[in-house]
Structure 1
Amino acid sequence: MHTYLLMQTQLPLYHSLLSRGFPPTLLSFIYPLTPPPPLSPIQTKGKKDKQFIIINYSSSSSSKIFCAMKTLYLLLFFISFLFFFSSELSLRAAAVIDTQSGFLSLMKNSLAGQLRTRWDSAAGPAAYCNFSGISCDADGNVVVIDVSLWSLAGPFPPGICTALPYLRTLRLAGNNVQGGFPHDLLNCSFLEELDLSSTALTGPVPDLSPLQSLRRLDLSENAFSGWFPTSVANLTNLEFINFNEIPGFEIWRLPESIAGLTKLRVLILSTSSMRGEIPPWLGNMTSLTDLELSANFLVGQIPATLGSLYNLQLLELYYNQLEGEIPRELGNLTLLTDIDLSENRLTGEIPVELCGLPRLHVLQMYTNRLTGRIPAVLGNSTQLVILSVYRNLLSGELPPDLGRYSNLIVVELSENLFSGPLPRYSCAAGKLLYFLVLSNLFTGELPAEYAACTGLLRFRMSNNRLSGPIPQGIFALPHATIIDLSNNSFEGTIPRSVGEAKNLSSLFLSNNQISGNLPPEISWDTNLVKIDLSNNLLTGPIPSEFGNLTKLNQLSLQGNKLNSSIPQSLSSLKSLNVLNLSNNLLTGEIPDSLCTLLPNSLDFSNNNLSGPVPLPLIKEGLLDSVAGNPNLCVAFRLNLTDRIFPLCPKPSFRNSLNDIWIIGVCVILCILGLLLFLQRWFSRKNPVIEQEGISSLSSFSYDVTSFHRLSFDQHEIIEALIDKNIVGHGGSGTVYKIKLSNGECVAVKKLWTRKTKDRSNSAQLILDRELRTEVETMESIRHKNIVKLYCCFSSMDSNLLVYEYMPNGNLWDALHKGCSTLDWPKRHRIALGIAQGLAYLHHDLLFPIVHRDIKTSNILLDAEFEPKVADFGIAKMLQTRGDHDSSTTIIAGTYGYLAPEYAYSSKATTKCDVYSFGVVLMELVTGKKPNEPEFGDNRDITQWVTSKIGAKEGAVEVLDKRISWSPFKEEMTQVLRIALRCACSIPNLRPTMNEVVQLLIEADRWKSDANSS
């Protein structure tokens, strides 16, 4: 009798083997007899969950033979058993492949974008492991999904953790994942890295505690709301946390439980609505290499305990309300490379210990209340690249070796109390781009070494006490956009080499002792926008070549000893807003052609000018601008104010005859005009039937206000207001294109009035206000990049605004509807022109103007595609001198272009215009509209571009594919970055329009550098 045990739990396997076709002959090997006896349990033993069956049977074979057969049978069974289970595993693997493939297919269909082109339908098992952005382990399990910056849009599909249970990395950054945080991700127990940055997610962040394997978490630049997820403190494996740019969080404080994350290396919580003091316990998180808490509501002092973070490399606390002194303990951070404490209320001195750190690259502490000197040890630094401490109360001399041993790029020391000589070695490495030391107490001469610093972009040291000659090479810096040496005591002459500064846009030398003649070579610098050489000792003529500076906006030469006549060529400077030639020794007559520049600021006072005062100057009440010229006269009296000038001598007999002819012609024209008037007056008694939209001739009762010399008659305008001349309809009226008898074209905007049908009183009041605003605004400004308003017709029937006609329409149509595509050089020129027009509105007027509706449809293009800013119907003049942050409280503007703070605060500042201009820049670079379906719901072009440009090649993906951008890739990318600076969500971080102009000019240099390399 032999006894064998068959575990009861194996019975299902036995029957399963039979059902799957397992050969019965192989199954019989578990029994020593053939045929095998039926399973007849005799006795059961064991625990309930591990019962087995005792099988008894007898055999006549000898014991040895039986044992040998038993061993053979068991071996064959083991082999069969392995075969069966390998088959089971294959079936399971096939099921896994089907599940993973199914989810990825679902993901491809849910997130529209590049998935459909990058994830092909390759054949074979686990083919998805070869997809771009997908990584699998050796068993074919998906462990990595990286589709960052793939232009995806749509909801994230559910079931990811069920389908991909071994997923370790998920990167969706820079896409438009609609909706809230994907809650299914909380079931991914193996997930180690989660990057959902810049994905436009909204709503609250859930409890993240289930993600215990997580090492890296990036939820930055989203629209989350509610409370900050303090549950991250439960994720003890975290090494990286980034919640930057999530201003929608409720005000919160950093919980001490965060200190339990002992592995944490990077903690980024900038712009996350955090308040309170910086907790001292942060000093216990000694694994930190990067701590960023900027742009929050932090108060109090910087805790000295931060000096215990001996692994720290980056410390950013700027844009808070921190006060007190900078802890000297920060000097213990021997690995620190970058520290930024700017825009706080810090006091005291800059610690010597901090300046002596061996790896310090960036030291930024601008806009605080710091006092004392810059420690001399900083001059010994071999690593310093950026030093920015402007707008403090720092004093004393600079370290003489500053920049001698390091590759300095930026030196910003303006608006302090520094004294003594300038450091001569600041550009020793030849890398310096920005040297800004204006408004200090520096003395001595300008170091000759600066002339060799050919990479300089901005060189500003105005409002100091510097003296001596200016090294000639300074005037010839090839890449400089601003050279500002005004308000010092510099001597010498302006060399002819100034013509080599091809990128120069602003040359400021006022209030010095510069002598000699003005070199005509200045006219070679065709990018010049502003020239201020006032209050020096300049002599000789004003070069007629100045008329070639077509971009010139300001020419200030007052307070010198210039002794020529005024060149007629200056009248060709159509962009000129300021022309000041006063307090010189100028002779001759005032050219009548200069009056075409009115109503610009013109000042010819206190010279030796002679002859008649041009009639437009008298009519505009600008006699003060020609006062102090004893030899000027007036041809005849117009009003009491012109009595300060004598009458001009009677003309000769020949001139008298000419005058008689002129008077005769005028009389004849008056008679003809009277006859025409009588004819029309009689026709009013029998009105003609209106044709093609012509209104009755009573329309001639208009009040006309002109802002420029007109070359047309009002009748010519009114008679052309017919349907066939309509070119468009706006929010406030109808626009006509009218061709005048002299061959020129004008655009006429006919505004609705109180008598217009179907208009409510409230709507009419708005229109009247818009008319008033536009007229008041346009009559006070003049710039080549701002559309010219010729005149305004007002009557009870209608109000007409007559503009110069723009043959290439508006920028919106050119970008989004045009048959031909604008190339990049045209787009860059358009961007620069718009920026210059806005800079004029913001910075060059007595009262700055906020346009409040900058958009591509309000940018008109002339025959040469020169842009002109139009539609000032909602513009607002800021009635506060010099306050560019003054605001209005009436909501206006267009969705997609509105600055975020304007939408919720109703306060319009110049920074709102800067934001809108940033959107326009993005349109020019990408060719996209501000709101496109591909961006996704609740996502605009700003968020879309922001999500792209973070990656190395991400910016290239957004460049307009309709144009050949390859030669201009670097320049377009640079302009894209400028656009993002303009569209920054924090208004104070946006540049001014003056700065934007300079940045766009400098961006053009990228093209030249690329072509030369």
Structure 2
Amino acid sequence: MHSFLFLFSLFLFTPTLTLSLNQEGLYLYQFKLTLSDPDSTLSTWSLHSSNPCNSNWFGITCDPTNSTITSLDLSSSNLRGQFQPSLLCRLPNLTSVTLFNNSIDQTLPSSISICQTLTRLDLSQNLITGSIPQTLSELPNLTYLDLTGNNFSGSIPFSFGMFQKLETLSLVYNLLEGSIPYSLGNVTTLRMLNLSFNPFSPARVPSSLGKLTNLEVLWLSQCNLVGPIPEEFGNLKSLVVLDLSMNGLDGKIPSSITGLTRLWQVELFNNSLSGELPVGMENLTALRLFDASMNRLSGRIPDELTRLPLESLNLYENSFEGELPESLADSPNLYELRLFGNRLSGKLPENLGKNAPLRLIDVSNNQFSGEIPASLCDRGELEEILIIYNSFSGGIPASLGACQSLMRVRLGYNKFSGEVPAGFWALPRVYLLELVDNEFNGSIARTIGGAVNLSLLILSKNNFSGWIPEEIGWLEHLEEFSGGDNMFNGSLPDSIVNLRQLGTLDLHNNKLSGELPKGIKSLKKLNELNLANNDIGGNIPNDFGSLLQLNFLDLSNNKFSGRVPLGLQSLKLNELNLSYNQLSGEIPPMLAKDMYKASFVGNPGLCGDLKGLCDGKNEDKKASGFVWLLRSLFIVATLVFVVGVVWFYFKYRNFKNGKGGIDKSKWTLMSFHKLGFGEDEILNCLDEDNVIGSGSSGKVYKVVLSSGEAVAVKKIWGGAKTETGSGDVEKGRIQDNAFDAEVETLGKIRHKNIVKLWCCCTTRDCKLLVYEYMPNGSLGDLLHSSKGGLLDWPTRFKIAVDAAEGLSYLHHDCVPPIVHRDVKSNNILLDGDFGARVADFGVAKVVESNGKGTKSMSIIAGSCGYIAPEYAYTLRVNEKSDIYSFGVVILELVTGRKPVDPEFGEKDLVTWACSTLDQKGVDHVLDSRLDSCFKEEICRVLNIGLMCTSPLPINRPAMRRVVKMLQEVGIENQAKSSKKDGKLSPYYYDDGSDHGSVA
């Protein structure tokens, strides 16, 4: 009937058109009309054709014997709309439908069951929502089903246990809940089962999966699995890949697994498995990759394991002890060895690396001793050597100085000594060279100019000496040079001003002399300069004022002379120390504040409006003016006395009336942590010089305590007084509510990513909240200021993860859950290491425990550009509102743009990002200040932000899921190089079909 109406309408409205398209072509053309095709991918699908099989229609495959359509593949075609199988399934011989990587949305109709001829259905990487239809199991010939990377919710249908021929089932990266159905054990035809990265409810691994004797790949990573690994898994004799990583599994690794002789890859990392590795692992004769890291395994690493043809052995962060088996050096295929974070001791096997193409060795945080084996790079493929926090001794083998493949070297925190080989300084691919906290001596060789890829040079706490060579200025990629606590002498090389990427220069506690090189203003990215405790002299260049990213400057305990440069006033310094030099003259006015007083002590020639400076300057007055001076002092003293009496009278009167200044006796202190200070210390520092911010409810002060620790104090004035106007009463009520919400929320929660509330102080008409001080301020202020370039992508990504973990704690770990209601970049504060804390809980609300999960508000709380659309018109608040706001923060981090901007017109950041992606592509969305080498990772985080800002709350992932997705981006980014180098990735499995991708 539908096709008849379609044909009738064509004849009715296009009478001159002669239709020659056959019936199959008409079905496909109707299917085309249900989709949006902005790229005109389906332009070849024309009514003027006669037969799609003879007209080169895009994406179709036909049976050559009868010219009927058998396959439809429209992968990565940017198609949108709803998938309507009722049209396609009228093609009598259609066996395969692939719509991978499009924007198909809405729900998947249950009418899919009419596609009785289908053997393959791939709808992965789309935007399909709703439940997975139970009717899918009614397709009698289906062998391949891939729904990866959509927004399916609900449970896996129990009816999936009724598939008759299914060989591949992939539901990775969805929003599936419930538990893995026991019935899947009935689908004995399965060769691949991939259910990873879904927010299932905590549940055990179904033992019925042990009946899937044809199974080759079992991927259940991050499925919220708990309890032991079933012994029944020993029945999976065909298993090649077993991945149970990132769950809550406990107990021992079952010994039955050692009978799976076809196992090629075993991933058990990040669980709570305990005990020793099972006896009999030598039976796993095909095993190449074994990762049981981040568990609670113990005992010794058995010889049997090292005799397997292993390529990658990852057992880090467990409790293994004893020495490594010498046989480890005989493993012929070993390219990756990660054993850090255990209790291993003794020496590394003498011939390690001699017989295997070793690329990475990480044995950090153990108790190893002895020397580095000289054979580590004998095969010329070693890329990373990480052995920090051990007790290695001796020198660096000369053979490593010829290891041209090395890229990452961390030898810190050991007992190494002697000189570093000249060739080791010059390795051309090394980007990280860390030798910190050893006993190395000698100088930096001039050959360092050959280390053209070096980004991080960390030599602190050694016995290095001699001049820093001019060749260091050749390292155009150098971002950090930390060489403090050594014995370097001579002047800084003039070439150091050529290091345009340099962000940190730390050479404190050396014997450097001379003057600072000219042209220091070229170091535009310099963020930290620490030259304290040297013998450097000359003037401090006024050019420092042009280094807008500089926020740490310590030139103390040197021989600098002349004036303090006026240009320093233009910087926003978190740390300034010019003490104990030979500076003179007036301190620049904007630096002549008590908060900087310690920065200038020990400079007898300095003058400024600071107590303790300029003392004794009048000792050289002539004797003829002495009498005049006495008269002047007497007159001034008299005036001061009179003024003082008047001032005291009014202060005393105000005090009696209760309307005076701060009366310390009236304050009540409530602490939430063990304090090392009292309210007096706080009250004494609440002056305008210490104001670091202000808002509608009051001001924020930075208070430096006598211990040297800093805290932030929010002062809230104006409780609701009876004599004020009604507007003031309402304002006071709101401020009181904000104070109560802040105390109620922060006073009872503890999390590393929630700002810490030390205490609160209250009096009749003033309230103080004392927080931990965050030296880098708020994310919003930093990201959207001239210092936004300071936040590179790794830093932004860390901030996103930290903030997500804080919000996840509020939503999922607090009982009852807490909704922040004002998530924004200005309420994400940054510590000295750019760690993020969620702050400002003045409008936070507890979620009702009545099962509804929402609460109606009388007014809209939140900030423009961050408010979820449904919140704005329903005033119903739940966790999904916070998730939308956090998605906006992600978009800020990715785009570098504010949530609202005149450039957007009437749009906000979310609308602008979506429309720009559609019209111009992703390159016009990403912040141009970010390094393009991170583009793939940035795009994945952008996708998470877009998911969080979905107009439909049901499509937004829970914060716990957001955290896991972000963590997975980080994990995959770190593991990307090793996966490319031969490790079988769970994202790809070659099943002999056209599309092996399952994610």
State yes or no: 1:646 paired with 2:606: no
Q: Is the 8 A contact 1:434 1:457 kept in 2?
A: no
Equivalent residue for 2:143?
192
Equivalent residue for 1:120?
45
Equivalent residue for 2:939?
976
Q: CA separation in 2, counterparts of 1:372 and 1:454? A: 36
Cα 1:905–1:266 shift into 2, 3 Å: same
Aligned to 1:365, which of 315, 334, 337?
315
The amino acid that maps onto 1:117 is: L
Aligned-partner SS, 1:455? coil
CA offsets, 1:863-906, max 9 Å, x none?
Answer: xxxxxxx976534577xx99958766945894789xxxxx9999
Aligned-partner SS, 1:148? coil
Q: Is the 8 A contact 1:436 1:461 kept in 2?
A: no
Q: Is the 8 A contact 1:384 1:406 kept in 2?
A: yes
The amino acid that maps onto 1:573 is: L
Q: Is the 8 A contact 2:334 2:358 kept in 1?
A: yes
The more displaced of 614-623 and 834-843 is: 834-843
Equivalent residue for 2:190?
238
Identity across the alignment (%): 27
Cα 1:913–1:851 shift into 2, 3 Å: farther
Q: CA separation in 2, counterparts of 1:574 and 1:775? A: 32
**Residue 752 (structure 1) shift:** 14
Taking the TM superposition and a 5 Å limit, the aligned residue runs for 1:499-510 are 499-510=473-484
CA offsets, 1:567-587, max 9 Å, x none?
Answer: 332232221111112233444
State yes or no: 1:258 paired with 2:231: no
State yes or no: 1:555 paired with 2:529: yes
Equivalent residue for 1:224?
176
Cα 1:278–1:784 shift into 2, 3 Å: closer
State yes or no: 1:959 paired with 2:910: no
The amino acid that maps onto 1:568 is: N
Aligned to 1:634, which of 607, 614, 622?
607
Aligned-partner SS, 1:258? helix
**Residue 769 (structure 1) shift:** 10
Q: Is the 8 A contact 1:251 1:274 kept in 2?
A: yes
Q: CA separation in 1, counterparts of 2:549 and 2:471? A: 25
Q: Is the 8 A contact 1:408 1:426 kept in 2?
A: yes
Taking the TM superposition and a 5 Å limit, the aligned residue runs for 1:588-607 are 588-597=562-571, 599-607=573-581
Equivalent residue for 2:497?
523
Equivalent residue for 1:27?
none
Q: CA separation in 1, counterparts of 2:56 and 2:131? A: 30
Equivalent residue for 2:816?
none
Cα 1:499–1:155 shift into 2, 3 Å: same
State yes or no: 1:183 paired with 2:134: yes
The more displaced of 273-282 and 580-589 is: 580-589
CA offsets, 1:214-233, max 9 Å, x none?
Answer: 00110111111122122111
Q: CA separation in 1, counterparts of 2:932 and 2:436? A: 36
Q: Is the 8 A contact 1:914 1:990 kept in 2?
A: no
Cα 1:402–1:293 shift into 2, 3 Å: same
The more displaced of 596-605 and 494-503 is: 596-605
Equivalent residue for 2:827?
874
Q: CA separation in 2, counterparts of 1:842 and 1:920? A: 10
Q: Is the 8 A contact 2:895 2:926 kept in 1?
A: no
**Residue 143 (structure 1) shift:** 1.0
Taking the TM superposition and a 5 Å limit, the aligned residue runs for 1:765-804 are 781=775, 787=781
State yes or no: 1:533 paired with 2:507: yes
**Residue 649 (structure 1) shift:** 6.3
Q: CA separation in 2, counterparts of 1:956 and 1:489? A: 59
Cα 1:377–1:519 shift into 2, 3 Å: farther
Taking the TM superposition and a 5 Å limit, the aligned residue runs for 1:430-469 are 434-447=384-397, 448-449=401-402, 450-469=424-443
Structure 1 length-normalised TM: 0.60
Aligned-partner SS, 1:155? coil
The amino acid that maps onto 2:173 is: E
Cα 1:905–1:961 shift into 2, 3 Å: closer
State yes or no: 1:622 paired with 2:596: yes
Taking the TM superposition and a 5 Å limit, the aligned residue runs for 1:732-747 are none
Q: Is the 8 A contact 2:531 2:554 kept in 1?
A: yes
Q: Is the 8 A contact 2:799 2:834 kept in 1?
A: no
Equivalent residue for 1:148?
100
Q: Is the 8 A contact 1:442 1:466 kept in 2?
A: no
Q: CA separation in 2, counterparts of 1:135 and 1:873? A: 55
Q: CA separation in 1, counterparts of 2:785 and 2:924? A: 31
Cα 1:212–1:709 shift into 2, 3 Å: closer
Equivalent residue for 1:307?
258
Q: CA separation in 1, counterparts of 2:736 and 2:327? A: 66
The amino acid that maps onto 1:624 is: A
- Please tell me whether Structure 1 or Structure 2 has the larger radius of gyration of its CA atoms: 1
Q: CA separation in 2, counterparts of 1:973 and 1:944? A: 20
Cα 1:250–1:308 shift into 2, 3 Å: same
Q: How many residues align?
A: 732
Equivalent residue for 1:165?
116
Taking the TM superposition and a 5 Å limit, the aligned residue runs for 1:704-719 are 705=688
Q: CA separation in 1, counterparts of 2:362 and 2:119? A: 45
Q: CA separation in 2, counterparts of 1:957 and 1:254? A: 46
**Residue 492 (structure 1) shift:** 4.3
The amino acid that maps onto 1:622 is: Y
The more displaced of 254-263 and 579-588 is: 579-588
Q: Is the 8 A contact 2:778 2:825 kept in 1?
A: no
The amino acid that maps onto 1:517 is: S
Gaps of 5+ in 1: 1-96, 657-702, 711-729, 734-750, 790-803, 807-828, 854-869, 898-902, 930-938, 949-954, 1001-1013
Q: CA separation in 2, counterparts of 1:107 and 1:445? A: 70
Cα 1:305–1:907 shift into 2, 3 Å: farther
Q: CA separation in 1, counterparts of 2:799 and 2:51? A: 65
Equivalent residue for 1:340?
291
Equivalent residue for 2:305?
354
Cα 1:566–1:970 shift into 2, 3 Å: closer
State yes or no: 1:109 paired with 2:82: no
Q: Is the 8 A contact 1:135 1:143 kept in 2?
A: no
Q: Which one has more relative contact order, counting CA pairs under 8 Å at least 6 apart? A: 1
Q: CA separation in 2, counterparts of 1:194 and 1:993? A: 25
The amino acid that maps onto 2:615 is: P
Structure 2 length-normalised TM: 0.61
**Residue 412 (structure 1) shift:** 3.3
The amino acid that maps onto 1:245 is: F
**Residue 202 (structure 1) shift:** 1.0
Q: CA separation in 1, counterparts of 2:973 and 2:51? A: 57
Q: CA separation in 2, counterparts of 1:957 and 1:361? A: 44
Equivalent residue for 1:822?
none
State yes or no: 1:484 paired with 2:458: yes
RMSD: 5.7
Cα 1:441–1:563 shift into 2, 3 Å: farther
Cα 1:268–1:102 shift into 2, 3 Å: same
Q: Is the 8 A contact 2:779 2:825 kept in 1?
A: no
**Residue 323 (structure 1) shift:** 1.8
CA offsets, 1:894-931, max 9 Å, x none?
Answer: 4789xxxxx999999xx999987654465579x999xx
Aligned to 1:498, which of 452, 472, 480?
472
State yes or no: 1:317 paired with 2:268: yes
Cα 1:787–1:874 shift into 2, 3 Å: closer
Q: CA separation in 2, counterparts of 1:266 and 1:239? A: 6
CA offsets, 1:61-88, max 9 Å, x none?
Answer: xxxxxxxxxxxxxxxxxxxxxxxxxxxx
Q: CA separation in 1, counterparts of 2:618 and 2:972? A: 52
